[in-house]
A and B are shown apart, each in its own frame.
Chain A
Amino acid sequence: MNFDNIYLEEEITELTETKRILNNINYQNIVTCKNYKEIFNPKNQNFRIQKLNPSIILAKKKNNFVLETPKNFTIGYKKNFYFSHMFNCIFDCKYCFLQGMFNSPNFVIFVNYYDFIQEIKMIANSTNEKFCFFSGYDCDSLALQVL
Chain B
Amino acid sequence: MIHFIVATNFEARPLIDFFKLKKKIHIEEFQIFNNEEISLTVSGIGKIFSALAVAHTYFQFGKKKNQIWINFGLAGHKNLKIGKLVLVNKIIDSNSNFTFFPFFHKKFNFEKKNCTTYDRPDTNYNDSLSDMEASGFFGAASKHSTTEFIHSFKIISDNQNESINFRDEKKIYRIISKQMKNINSLVKEVNLLKKKYFSEIPHIDQEISKIFEKVNFTFSEKEQFKKIFRLHLLENPKLESNLIDFSCDAKTNIKKLRQYLKI
Contact = CB atoms under 8 A, between A and B. Distances in A.
Interface stretch (A49-57, A74-82, A123-131, A133-141): A49-57
B114 interface: yes
A4 B105 CA distance: 9
Interface residues of A, number: 20
Interface in A1-58: 4-5, 7, 28-29, 31-34, 38-39, 42, 44-46, 48-50, 52-53
Given A31-B89, A33-B99, A52-B193, 6 more contacts: A31-B101, A45-B148, A46-B197, A50-B103, A52-B106, A53-B104
Q: Tell me whether chain A's interface is mostly helix, strand or loop, or mixed.
A: mixed
Contact of A45 (B99, B106, B146, B193): B146
A42 B142 CA distance: 10
Given A45-B146, A46-B146, A46-B197, A33 B106 contact: no
A28 to B, nearest CB: 8
A4 B106 contact: yes
6 contacts: A28-B112, A33-B90, A42-B142, A49-B105, A52-B193, A53-B106
Contact of A29 (B105, B112, B145, B147): B112
A5 B106 contact: no
Interface in B158-202: 193, 197
Given A4-B106, A7-B101, A53-B105, A29 B197 contact: no
Given A4-B106, A44-B142, A50 B101 contact: no
Contact of B89 (A29, A38, A46, A52): A29
Interface in B95-131: 99, 101, 103-106, 112, 114
A52 B147 CA distance: 14
B104 A48 contact: no
Contacts of B101: 7, 31, 33, 38-39
Contacts of A48: 197
Contact of A38 (B99, B104, B106): B99
Nearest to B65: A44
